[in-house]
Structure 1
Amino acid sequence: MVIPKDLLPLETRENTLKKVSEVISRFAEKGVPLLDPEEDLKIQSSSYRKAARRIEALESLFDKHEIAKSPLIEQKLKVFHMKQELAAKIKLLKKTIRSSTVLAFKDEFKARKRALRRLGYVTNEDVVELKGRVACEISSADELTLSELMFNGVLKDITVEEIVSLLSCFVWQEKLQNAPKPREELDSLFVQLQDIARRVAKVQLECKVQIDVENFVSSFRPDIMEAVYAWAKGSKFYEIMEITQVFEGSLIRAIRRLEEVLQQLIQAAKSIGETELVSKFEEAVSKIKRDIVFAASLYL
């Protein structure tokens, strides 16, 4: 059957309709045969032939399968198609979530970079400054607050025992009910720490970093300052347990973490040539790393 190229004239359309109707009537029982893509449409693509053979093989397998004779085949196919659609939607949603997460992290990354620039850890060209080199050495405590303590001269102006006591605020996370307030000189150091922590947190907040200033400040706890101070002074373990409410195991873990922080501070001070601080931190390690707290086993 030949269909004219120009179907605008009414007579041409009527003649074409008659021809189409005639073809349909001839194949009323089995329907109009489909055009063969290769023979009729002259499609010679190897990828098409491969796909066509694959479809034929799958159709043959399906016809031989027992499910093809099931009376519920239509219903099962509908369920299968629904499952495929849902799987496609899930895949799309996961992709959207991933892209959203990347954007969120990207915004946070930019905000943190702004904060580091404001605090003087990197330059506008993202070159690491002296403060940044110190912060890079610290991973067992809040590196920004601890670096600020170092560069503000707080750690230089106090004794080794006071350094150890102050640093205990970085490693102690538990909250004690009705914990006794440390002595005046230690409490004064803790107030300085809070001021520095608040300033660091406020700068981050101004730079759009998601942070709760007061929660951040309150994360530094003074509960074991007295006990750690006494330990650095040479007191026995049973003696320091008499001046604190914490459990023995918790205090031992805190002092061990404190030693880890001090080791990192030694490396940080060395990286910027602060020999005085290096000596202080090394002395602090020697004062706390002793006796039962650092025994290989508590049962020895």
Structure 2
Amino acid sequence: MFVILCSLQSTAYPFCNLAGLFVLNAPGVMSNSPSFSPLRIIRFHGDWLLNLRSVKVFMKIIKLSSARLPMPKDLLPLQTRENMLKSTSEFLARNASGLPLDPEANMGIRSSSYQKLVRRIEALESLFDKHEISKSPLIEQKLKVLHMKQELTAKIKSIKRQMRSSTELAFKDELKARKRVLRRLGYATSDDVVELKGKVACEISSAEELTLTELIFNGVLKDVKVEEMVSLLSCFVWQEKLQDASKPREELELLFTQLQDTARRVAKVQLECKVQIDVEGFVNSFRPDIMEAVYAWAKGSKFYEIMEITPVFEGSLIRAIRRLEEVLQQLILAAKSIGETELEAKFEEAVSKIKRDIVFAASLYL
């Protein structure tokens, strides 16, 4: 878009530039800005030279004029530019308002929504004129502060959108990686159809579902006694780390080794699928500290007797057994969803063995 830029430049002070007048080769643009005011010849410490040149600029259109001034095709000759400046100055002198464009009269806009907006603007302008701040000498300064606030608010919103976009992108990559894990382990097909193992894992939310599902489908839980199974499942709900915890008996330790091997395999698959995970840290998150105590509880021992087996606090052990019962309830639903009636009955028997006495009392003070 080509415009005529009129500026005054001092021979004594070449660094001083005073913007004069912009004229678009389109419907005129009028503004209250000094940059759009008629050219004023100013004398300041010497002679000023009139310097007219054609430049290409980008600007924000504030108002449109219904008048259109024809411009010569060639603005390079000095005489042409001077004539253009003269005709433009004469037009602005005769039409101080700039003949603003009326959308209804000049463009034939009869939209009801436009008329509502016009009335809304007029009402707001009327309210502003009646407000005491409109008479304030600091109105320009306050408006600048308001505009700065609006710009900062817009920047904040833009940055937040960028942050959300970046976060969504990160989650998208993680989602793809986890979907690869599910396909590798046989929980879903390449078309994202949930397989049998996936249905079981969907029912488990109170324990590490992938490792637990692998144990189920590997037959580990089916081939052991109910008490041993409950003891093994306690490793999924116990989070505390005891320094002086005794090792479980041989058959329980063998089960725990199988659990560790399964957890390590699951973690390695996740690592290969670009899921960020510490393999050994994941394996060590399963603790055997209360296996003996839970085994004894499932065998029918009294609560004070199992407290003599393990150094954990009473409240911690009670919470662990309660969480264990919650996991077993989810496993019952998981077994039912795949039609494993034998395994379902085994889980129900495990619930009946541990859900008793003071551990599941409504209040410890009764």
Give TM-score, length-normalised by structure 1.
0.89
Unpaired stretches in structure 2, ≥5 consecutive residues: 1-66
Q: Residue deviations 1:198-238, cap 9 Å, x none?
A: 11111111111222222211211111111101101111000
5+ unaligned residues in a row in structure 1: which ranges?
none
Aligned partner of 2:286: which letter?
Answer: F
Within 5 A, what are the aligned runs for 1:70-81? 70-81=136-147
1:273–1:17 distance in 2 versus 1, CA, 3 Å: closer
> Counting helix residues as a fraction of each chain, which structure ranks higher?
1
Q: Does the aligned pair in 1 maintain the 2:71–2:84 contact within 8 Å? A: no
2:303 matched residue in structure 1: 237
Indicate the residue corresponding to 2:85 in structure 1: 17
Contact conserved, 1:4 with 1:12, CA < 8 A, in 2? no
Tell me the residue number matched to 2:99.
Answer: 35
Measured in 2, the distance between the counterparts of 1:177 and 1:213 equals 22
Find the structure with the greater CA-based Rg: 2
Is 1:258 aligned with 2:324?
Answer: yes
Per the alignment, do residues 50 and 244 of structure 1 end up closer, same or farther by CA in structure 2, a change over 3 Å counting? same
Q: Identity, % of aligned pairs?
A: 77
Query: Superposed, which structure 2 residues align to 1:89-238 within 5 Å?
Result: 89-238=155-304
Deviation at 1:81, TM superposition (A): 0.9
Structure 1 pair 278–54 and aligned structure 2 pair: CA distance change class (3 A): closer
Which residue of the partner structure matches residue 347 of structure 2? Answer: 281
CA contact 2:215–2:259 (8 Å) conserved in 1:
yes
More strand by share: 2
The CA distance in 1 between the partners of 2:96 and 2:317, in whole Å, is 88
Identify the residue that residue 86 of structure 1 maps to in structure 2.
152
The corresponding residue for 2:63 is: none
For 2:91 and 2:71, locate their aligned partners in 1 and report how far apart those are by CA, in whole Å: 19
**Following the alignment from structure 1 to structure 2, what is the Cα–Cα distance between the partners of residues 116 and 125?**
12
Deviates more, 1:5-14 or 1:116-125: 5-14
The offset of 1:294, in angstroms, is: 1.4
Deviations 1:265-284 (A, max 9, x none): 12222333333322322221
Q: What whole-Å deviation, never above 9, does each CA across 1:3-33 have from its counterpart, x for those lacking one?
A: 4453538566544433333445x46xxx822
Residues 35 and 41, structure 1, Cα contact 8 Å, conserved in 2: no
Q: Cα deviation per residue 1:154-199 (whole Å; 9 max; x = unaligned)?
A: 1122211110100000011122232222222212211111110111
1:106 and 1:75 map into 2 onto residues whose CA distance is 46
Is the 1:7–1:13 Cα contact (8 Å) retained in structure 2?
Answer: no
Q: Which residue does 2:45 correspond to in 1? A: none
Output the CA distance in 2 between the equivalents of 1:152 and 1:255. Answer: 25
Question: RMSD of aligned C-alpha atoms?
Answer: 2.4
Task: Give the Cα separation in 2 of the matches to 1:250 and 1:22.
Answer: 92
Alignment partner of 1:299: what SS? coil
Deviation at 1:125, TM superposition (A): 2.2
What count of residue pairs does the alignment treat as equivalent?
A: 296
